[in-house]
Amino acid sequence: MKPITELIKDLADLHGRDRHSLLPILQGVVEQEKYLSEYSMIEIARELDLPATEVFGTATFYSFLEYKKMGRYIIRICKTITCSMKGEKQILLAIEDMLKIKVGETTPDGSFSLLQTNCLGFCHKAPAMLINNDVFTELTPEKVREILSEYLNRKNEGGQNVN
Amino acid sequence: MSTNYQLKRADFIFKDENDWEEVLKNNINRPPNELINELISSELKGRGGAGFPTGLKWKISAEEVNDVKYVICNADEGEPGTFKDREILSKVPFKVLTAIAICGHVIGAKIGFIYLRGEYFFLQTELNKAINEFEYYCREIKFDFSIKIFMGSGAYICGEETALFESMEGKRGEPRNKPPFPSAFGYMGKPTVINNVETLAHTYTIFKYGSKRFYDLGVQYSRGSKLFSVSGDTPKPGIYELELGMSLADFVDEFGDDDTKAVQVGGASGFLVPRKRFNETNIGFQGKLVGISLPTGGSMMLFNSSRSMFNVLDNYLNFFAEESCGQCTPCRVGCQQLLRGIKAVKRGEKNAQYLDKMLKLAETMQFTAKCGLGQSVANSFSSIVENFREEMIY
Amino acid sequence: MGKKIKITINGETVEIVKGTSILEAANQAGVIIPTLCYHKDLCVAGNCRVCVVEIAGQKRLAPACATPCDEGMDVLTNTLKVRNSRKHIIELLLSEHNADCTNCYKNGGCELQKLASEYKIMNQDFIHLVPFRNYTIDMFSPSIIKDDSKCIRCQRCVRTCAELQGVNALTMSYKGEHAKITTFFEKAMNDVVCTNCGQCINHCPTGALVEKNYIEEVWNAISDKTKYVVVQTAPAVRVGLGEELGFEPGERVTGKMVAALKRLGFDAVMDTDFTADLTIMEEGTELLTRLKGALVDKNPDIKLPMATSCSPGWIKFIEHMYPSLLDHLSSCKSPQQMFGALVKTYYAKARNIDPEKIVSVSIMPCTAKKFEAARPEMHDSGYRDVDYVLTTRELAIMIKQAGIDFMKLKDAHYDRLMGESTGAGVIFGATGGVMEAALRTAYELVTGREVPFEDLKILPVRGMEGIKEASIKIENPLEKWSFLDGVELNCAIAHGLVNAKKVMDSIVAGTSHYHFIEFMACPGGCLGGGGQPIPTNPEIRAKRTAAIYAEDEGMPMRKSHLNPEITKIYKDFLIAPLGEKSHKLLHTKYTPRKRY
C-alpha cells in the first residue's frame, strides 16, 4: 500500500490538478484507504491548491466517500422499497448476529463495516448488497453467512465478480 | 373504461449490435440536419423519466455557436425500481457508444462522457474494454471522437442533469438554476447534450433503420418502445421491452400475481396507481389519451394486498429525505416534514386532518422546489395518501 | 448595453434590459419581492425559494432572483398560489429553526423574524425539527459565535467567505436532511483558517452567526468605582453608528457618539484616530528606513514591498496563507493596540492613575479586533493592552439600554492627551485611507513640500475598485533623502481578502513592482467591517465612504505630523519614531500559522 501523500500525488498526475479532477482523486484515495481522513483531505487540498473546506464539503456530499474510519470490507445493504419488501431486515439481522456489529459500526478487528444504502439497481433480484465494489443478489440469511465466511477466510485482498 | 390496446412486446434494444461499425460509419457521413430530422420525426422522447423530445434537444445544441461542446450519457440510474440501463451497458454497450459518437457528429462535440453511478463500479472493466475497441475503430475511420467514463460516488441527485454537471466539475451535486439550460450552458458551461442510456440506445435503432420503424410502435404522443424494469410482487421480475401506450390493466394481467393492490409507475418519483384505476391508466407520456397518462422512466413496482402502503410511502420519503441535495428549502425541509408527518399521524400524535395539510405542503414542494427531485415528491405522496388514506391513519 | 424588452409585473408594463432578473425588474417597478438568500454583494444562489413568483402560463413558480426576464413575460407577485407557497416556505424554515426569539441576540434584526411577522405566521403546525438534530453552539472564537440551530442554509456566509474574502472557512456539507454549513471537519471557528473578519456576520440573515459581545463586561467595568475605564473610538464607527440609531447611512455622528460615550459613564473618551496619526509617524519612518535599506544599502534582509498591518483580519490571513512573507509586514501595531499599550503607560503616568485600575475598551467597526486584543503578545504595557473590544453594533445596544435619545444629543469633544486627531487619521476608515495618510506625511517629510494633489485629496487611492494603484515621483527631495531622488514610489491598495490574495500571489510570483501596499480585510475598508451596522451593500458603503472623506475635509489639520498631541507624545515620552520606547510599546511580531 502506498503512503497517502504518494498516492495522492500519483492520482493527481493521472487525473490532473484541476477542480474537475477532485472526484476521481477522492475516489482513488477511498479505493485504497476505504475512507478519507483529515490528513488525506488536507493533502488533496494542498496538491490541488484548493481550500480544505471545499474538499470536505464535496467529499461529505457523496455517500460512498466515507470520512470516518472504515473496515477493510464495507457492506452496504440496500434498504429501498423492493429490497425492503423482499427481506432486507432479515439479512441485516443475520449480519448483525454474525459480525456482532450494528449499522454504522465496524468490527473491532477492522475487517467489516456495516452500512445501509439506497437502490442498487438489482430490484428484480432483491434483496441485494454490495461488499466494497462487488454486488451480491437474491440474498437469504444462509447465503449471506456463506458470503461473509468466505470473506473472513481471505488472506489477501481482491474481489469476486458479480453473481 | 377498458382499452383494447394489448401489451405488445418489442425487441429492438438488445439485438443487432454486431454491425455497429457500419452504423457508425454510415451515420457520421450523413449531414447533421438529416439526422436531427430523423430523430424529430421519430418523436423519440427521453427515456430517463423526464421525456424531453430528443430530436429537439440535439437540435438546440447543434445550433449553439461554440468551439467546445460535450455529449454526456447519463448512466446514474438510481430511481428505485429501475435497473434497465445497467443491462443495456452490459449487453449492448456498442450501441450506446455509437449513439454518443453520432450525437457528437450532429452537435459538433469531440468528447463524450458516460457518467456511471458508483454502485455500478463492476461494469467499468468491460465498458472500458468496449470503449478502447470503439476508439480504435474511430481512429481507423478518421473520426475524431473520444469517450471517457466518469464515476459517481453514491448520490441519486446526480442523475439530475445540472447536478451531474456539478459533480463532473468536482463539486457537490447541487442542481443549478434553469435557465440557462444544458443545451446552451452545460458541463463546464459549454453546450451539452445529456441523454439517458436507453434514449441513446433507441437513437441507434432510429439511425440504423430510420424513424418509421420506431414511430410505428406505440401510440400518439408516446411513440416507440420502452424498457420496463419490473419488480416487487410479481412472478416475472426482470426487464421487458414493451410498446408505449399499454393499459396498466393489461400490464398487471401479464405481470401481477393475481393479488396486485397497486403499481408504482416511474419509481419513487412517479405515481402509485391503485387497482381501481388500472383500467383507466395508460403508460406513456403526458398527452391527450383517454384517462390518466403517466410520465415514466420505466420502473414498475407491483404491490400485492400483503403490503402496507404506509410502509411504502415511509420508505420513499426516507429515500428522498436522504438523497435530497439539501440546497433548497421546500425539498430539504419538506421531505422531513412529510416523513415525520405521516409517522405522527400513524402514531396518533397528529389527527387525520394533518394529512390534508401535508398534501398542500406536497403541492407547494411541487411548485417551488429547485429541481425534479423536490418537484416529484408530491407525485407518490399525493397518489398514496389520496388512494390509501385509511392506511395512513391506522 | 443590452436590448430593451417589455414585461408586465402585476399588470403594469415595465421596460428593462433583456436578461435582467425578475427581482431587479420588480425593484424598478416599485414592487417588493421578499428574499432571503439573495444579497447584492454575492452571486445569485436561488435556494431559499422565498422570492418565488408566478409567471402566467407556467405551472411551477419561478425564483425572482434567478429568473431572467423574457419579452412579454407576465409576472404576478401576489397571487393566492404565491402567497400560500411563500407562507409554506417560511413555515418550513421556522420548523428547522431554533425560533427562541426573545433569547436571541438577533431579536429585532433577524430577516426570518421579519418575514414571519409580515406573513403573520401564527399557527405553526409543522413538526419542530431542531430537537432531532444535535446542534452545538461554537463559542470558541473570541470574535464569532456560530449557532447551527438558527441556520437557514441560505449559504450567504459560504458565498461571502469564498467570493468576497477568498478565505473559504465555511462550506455546505453532507446532504439531504443532514445538510448544514460547517468548517473543515466541523472544527471550532478558531481552529481553522477563519480570519475573524466577521463578513459572514454582516451577511447572515439570522442569528446563526453573531459577534461575541462583551456588553455586560463593559457595563460591569463602568459601574465598578475602583476602575478607570478608558474608551477609544475607531474612525469608521463615527460614520456607521448613526445607522443603528435612526440616521440615514452616511450621516456623521462624531460629536453625538462622544457625548453618548460620556453619558454611558466612561471615565475618559479618546480617539483611535490619535494613534492612527501615531501609526503614520511610525510606519512612515519605517517605510523610509526600509527604502534606504533596500535601495541604498542593498540589504537582502529588508523586504519590499512593505505591507500595512493595521487590519487584524488581514494579519491572520497572511499568517495562514503566506507565512513565509511575514517579513513584508510593517512591524507597527494597529492603532487600536498602540492606543492600548499607551493608555496603561503614557496616559496612566501623565494622569497619575494606577495602570492596574485602568480598563481599556475600544469601539471598533471590526470583529477581528476582538481576536487582536486577545493575542498573547499584546501585553507590552505590562497588562492586557486592550481589555474589551465592542463593535459599532454593541455600542448602539448599550446606548439604547442606557435610555439615551441619540438624535437629541448635543455634540461633545474628545478628552485630552490621546483624543486629538487629523483628517489623515480619520481616513483610515476607508480603503486607501492609510495609504493617503502615509503619503501626505512621508512625501512632506522627504521633499519638504505638500503632496501634489489639490486639497491633499489623493484621488488615485480612493474608490471601491478591488485593487488600486498609485505612483508618486519623488523629485528634489531634502538632502537627507537624496537617495530617493527620481524614485517612482509605487503603491497599491487592496480591500477584501480575495483581492489581498491576488496581490500576494503576484508578490510570490515576483511580478509585483510595488514599494508599499495597504491591505484591508473588509470590502470598502473598515467602514464595511464585520462589526458595522447590518445591512451592508455597495450603496451603503459608498455613503459611509463619502462621509469619511467629508469628515477629513472638515478637520482643521489634515496631516498626521501636525497633530500637537503627537508632537507632545514624542517630546514627553516616545522621543523619536522607531526609538526604544516605540519598539517596546508600538511594534509587534507575527505568528506563522497553518494554511489548512
Q: How far is B320 from chain A (nearest CA, A)?
A: 10
Q: How far is A111 from chain C (nearest CA, A)?
A: 25
What band does C124 get if pLDDT is binned at 50, 70 and 90? confident
All three cell numbers of B174, joined, read 447541487
What is residue B4's predicted lDDT score, i.e. its pLDDT?
43
Residues of chain B with pLDDT under 70: 1-6, 286-295
What is the CB neighbour count within 10 angstroms for residue C85?
A: 25
Question: Do both A120 and A82 map to the same domain?
Answer: yes
Peptide bond into C34 cis (omega under 30): no
Question: Do both A90 and A49 map to the same domain?
Answer: no
- What average pLDDT score do residues C141-159 get? 97
Which residues in chain B have their CB less than 8 angstroms from residue A26's CB? 153
Does residue A65 lie in a domain region? no
Which residues in chain B have their CB less than 8 angstroms from residue C48's CB? 328-329
Put simply, whether C177 touches B (Cβ < 8 Å) is: yes
Q: How many CA atoms lie within 13 A of C50 on its CB side?
A: 24
Contact at CB, A64 and B237, closer than 8 angstroms: no
Question: Do both A88 and A46 map to the same domain?
Answer: no
Which residues in chain B have their CB less than 8 angstroms from residue C47's CB? 327-329, 370
The end-to-end CA distance of chain B, in Å, is 32
Model-level pTM?
0.95
Interface test with C, best of A44, A47, A60, A67 (most C CBs within 10 A): A60
Put simply, whether C170 touches A (Cβ < 8 Å) is: yes
Calpha distance B360→C125 (Å, rounded): 13
| Chain A residues touching chain C at CB-CB below 8 Å | 38, 41-42, 45-46, 51-54, 56-57, 60-61, 67
> Each residue of C216-243: b (16+ CB within 10 Å) or e?
eebeebbeeeebbbbbbbbbbbbbbbbb
What are the pLDDT digits (tens) for C504-538?
999 999 999 999 999 999 999 999 999 999 999 99
What is residue B11's predicted lDDT score, i.e. its pLDDT?
87
What is residue B292's predicted lDDT score, i.e. its pLDDT?
52
Q: Which residues contact C18 (CB under 8 A, 6 or more apart)?
A: C2, C3, C4, C5, C68, C69, C70, C71
Which residues in chain C have their CB less than 8 angstroms from residue B375's CB? 60
Can you list the alpha helix ranges (DSSP code H) found in chain B? 20-27, 32-42, 54-63, 84-91, 93-107, 124-140, 161-168, 197-209, 211-215, 248-255, 309-323, 329-347, 353-368, 372-387, 389-393
Put simply, whether B356 touches A (Cβ < 8 Å) is: no
Closest by CA position to C20, among listed C63, C60, C66, C56:
C66
SS3 A117: strand
- What average pLDDT score do residues C414-425 get? 95
What are the pLDDT digits (tens) for C164-178?
999 999 999 999 999
Contact at CB, B154 and A21, closer than 8 angstroms: no
What band does A161 get if pLDDT is binned at 50, 70 and 90? very low
C:478-507 residues touching chain A, CB 8 A cutoff: none
Least confident among B288-292, C194-198, C329-333: B288-292
H/E stretch holding C91 reads: helix C80-95
Interface test with B, best of C92, C152, C171 (most B CBs within 10 A): C92
Which residue is associated with the grid cell 448544514? C180
C326 pLDDT exceeds 90? yes
Q: Which residues contact B272 (CB under 8 A, 6 or more apart)?
A: B262, B263, B264, B265, B309, B312, B380, B383, B384, B387, B388
Question: Do both A44 and A77 map to the same domain?
Answer: no
- What average pLDDT score do residues C441-465 get? 94
Strand B70-75 to strand B192-196: parallel, antiparallel, or no bridges (unpaired)? parallel
A163 pLDDT exceeds 50? no
Question: Do both A96 and A128 map to the same domain?
Answer: yes
A74 pLDDT exceeds 50? yes
Strand C180-182 to strand C171-173: parallel, antiparallel, or no bridges (unpaired)? antiparallel
Calpha distance B367→B378 (Å, rounded): 10
Question: Do both A78 and A148 map to the same domain?
Answer: yes
Put simply, whether C48 touches B (Cβ < 8 Å) is: yes
Nearest CA in chain C to B345: C127
Which residues in chain B have their CB less than 8 angstroms from residue A61's CB? 155, 172-173, 325
What is the CB neighbour count within 10 angstroms for residue B129?
A: 11
Which residues in chain C have their CB less than 8 angstroms from residue B155's CB? 175
Calpha distance B392→B310 (Å, rounded): 6
Q: Of A38, A46, A54, which is closest to C185 when you measure between CB atoms?
A: A38
All three cell numbers of B252, joined, read 398487471
All three cell numbers of A135, joined, read 454486488
H/E stretch holding C340 reads: helix C335-342
Can you list the alpha helix ranges (DSSP code H) found in B158-260? 161-168, 197-209, 211-215, 248-255
Does residue A158 lie in a domain region? no
- What average pLDDT score do residues C386-391 get? 98
Closest by CA position to C522, among listed C394, C433, C588:
C433
- What average pLDDT score do residues C214-242 get? 97
Where are the extended beta strands (E) located within C459-515? 467-473, 488-495
Q: Of C84, C127, C155, which is closest to B337 when you measure between CB atoms?
A: C127
| Contact between residue C584 and residue A40 where contact means Cβ atoms under 8 Å apart | no
Q: Which residues contact B231 (CB under 8 A, 6 or more apart)?
A: A82, A123, A124, A126, B81, B83, B237, B299, B300, B301, B302
What is residue A159's predicted lDDT score, i.e. its pLDDT?
47
Peptide bond into B175 cis (omega under 30): no
Contacts of A among chains (3+ CB pairs under 8 A): B, C
B:116-145 residues touching chain A, CB 8 A cutoff: 117-122
What are the pLDDT digits (tens) for C290-310?
999 998 999 999 999 999 999
Contact at CB, C177 and B335, closer than 8 angstroms: yes
Residues in chain B: 394
Q: Of C46, C89, C179, which is closest to B326 when you measure between CB atoms?
A: C179
Calpha distance B366→B375 (Å, rounded): 4
Q: Which residues contact B79 (CB under 8 A, 6 or more apart)?
A: A119, B49, B156, B159, B266, B267, B268, B269, B297, B299
Which residues in chain A have their CB less than 8 angstroms from residue C596's CB? 42, 45-46, 52
Residues in chain C: 596
Nearest CA in chain A to B79: A119
> Each residue of C102-126: b (16+ CB within 10 Å) or e?
eebbbeebbbbbebbeebebeeeeb
Question: Do both A78 and A12 map to the same domain?
Answer: no
Contact at CB, C92 and B368, closer than 8 angstroms: no
The DSSP secondary-structure symbol of C48 reads: S
Put simply, whether C49 touches B (Cβ < 8 Å) is: yes
Count interface pairs B-C at CB distance under 8 A: 114
Q: How far is C142 from chain A (nearest CA, A)?
A: 21
What is the CB neighbour count within 10 angstroms for residue A87?
A: 16
Put simply, whether C81 touches B (Cβ < 8 Å) is: yes
Which residues in chain B have their CB less than 8 angstroms from residue A124's CB? 83, 229-231, 237-239
Amino acid letter, C75: V
Calpha distance A150→B138 (Å, rounded): 43
| Contact between residue C499 and residue C466 where contact means Cβ atoms under 8 Å apart | yes
For chain C, the average pLDDT equals 96
Q: How far is C170 from chain A (nearest CA, A)?
A: 6
Interface test with C, best of B337, B350, B353 (most C CBs within 10 A): B337
Question: Do both A82 and A123 map to the same domain?
Answer: yes
Put simply, whether B157 touches C (Cβ < 8 Å) is: yes
Which residues in chain C have their CB less than 8 angstroms from residue B361's CB? 88, 92, 126
What band does A141 get if pLDDT is binned at 50, 70 and 90? very high
Question: Do both A54 and A86 map to the same domain?
Answer: no
What is residue B288's predicted lDDT score, i.e. its pLDDT?
45
- Three-class SS of C541-576: HHHHHHHHHHHHHCCCCCCHHHCHHHHHHHHHHHCC
Q: How many domains does chain A have?
A: 2
C359 pLDDT exceeds 50? yes
| Contact between residue B316 and residue B380 where contact means Cβ atoms under 8 Å apart | yes
What is residue A162's predicted lDDT score, i.e. its pLDDT?
37
Contact at CB, C60 and B375, closer than 8 angstroms: yes
Q: Of A58, A64, A118, which is closest to B323 when you measure between CB atoms?
A: A118
Contact at CB, B307 and A85, closer than 8 angstroms: yes
Put simply, whether B295 touches A (Cβ < 8 Å) is: no
User: What positions of C carry a catalytic annotation?
Assistant: 283, 286, 310, 330, 369, 372, 377, 526
Contact at CB, B321 and C174, closer than 8 angstroms: no
Q: Of B120, B153, B299, which is closest to A62 when you measure between CB atoms?
A: B153
What is residue A155's predicted lDDT score, i.e. its pLDDT?
53
Does residue A160 lie in a domain region? no
Contacts of B among chains (3+ CB pairs under 8 A): A, C
Expressed as residue numbers, the domain containing A40 is 4-59
What is residue B286's predicted lDDT score, i.e. its pLDDT?
64
What is residue B17's predicted lDDT score, i.e. its pLDDT?
85
What is residue B7's predicted lDDT score, i.e. its pLDDT?
76
**Burial bucket for residue C484 (CB in 10 Å: 0-12, 13-18, 19+):** buried
A:86-115 residues touching chain B, CB 8 A cutoff: none
What is residue B6's predicted lDDT score, i.e. its pLDDT?
60
Contact at CB, B172 and A84, closer than 8 angstroms: no
DSSP string, C223-250: H-TT-EEEEEE-GGGGGTHHHHTTPPTT
Does residue A66 lie in a domain region? no
- What average pLDDT score do residues C564-581 get? 95
Q: Going from the N-terminus, what domains does chain C have, and what CATH number goes with each?
A: 4-78 (3.10.20.740), 103-211 (3.30.70.20), 284-332+421-526+551-586 (3.40.950.10)
Strand B292-294 to strand C516-520: parallel, antiparallel, or no bridges (unpaired)? unpaired
Which residues in chain B have their CB less than 8 angstroms from residue C152's CB? 329
What is residue A1's predicted lDDT score, i.e. its pLDDT?
83
DSSP string, A26-54: HHHHHHHHSS--HHHHHHHHHHHT--HHH
Put simply, whether B268 touches A (Cβ < 8 Å) is: yes
Question: Do both A20 and A51 map to the same domain?
Answer: yes
Q: Going from the N-terminus, what domains does chain B have, and what CATH number goes with each?
A: 20-215 (3.40.50.11540), 309-393 (1.20.1440.230)
Contact at CB, C59 and B335, closer than 8 angstroms: no
Put simply, whether B291 touches C (Cβ < 8 Å) is: no
CATH label of the domain that carries residue A77 = 3.40.30.10
